[in-house]
Structure 1
Amino acid sequence: MSDSQSRPTDRGSDPPSLWSNSPYRIFLASQTLSSLGDSFSYVALPLLVLHSTGSVLQMGFVTGLTGVASIVSGLFAGLIADR
């Protein structure tokens, strides 16, 4: 292999940064806020049940149902997205 074949070709300038892409920044900010909101709801809903009922058992039941619903909906969403 000659030296000219192993050298990468010069493509001009570097690709633009993602931070200069306004739609990407909006998408990243919205996804970050959505994930943060989901995290708050995973904590707040069981605490609301505990505060309103005083039952740790019901709080655990709500926490478990939230986790199961997330897993099941994720599986079906994956099947739909793969089509």
Structure 2
Amino acid sequence: MDVFTKLFPYLYGAVFLLLLWQAFQVMARGFRAVPRPGDRSAAGNTSGDRTGRLTIHPELLDAEGQLTREDLLTVRFNGDNERPGTQGDN
């Protein structure tokens, strides 16, 4: 039992360092997964930054591919703190 008492701090420290090393490896993989400005995408999408570009969801297009002119449905939940808008509000 005396040997275990002397070796325990070293064993504990070694396991701690091993787990710390593995944690940094996992975090590094996560940071590499996030694209940064100037990085080339692995998928071949080299269009670059989309800041300021308009994205239209396919649900908003009609059969001819134009923006729909239909009234869109909205959902309001009980407890909304906003006042209901009227048609003349801007």
Which one has more relative contact order, counting CA pairs under 8 Å at least 6 apart?
Answer: 1
Q: TM-score, normalised by structure 1?
A: 0.36
Task: Say which one has the larger Rg.
Answer: 2
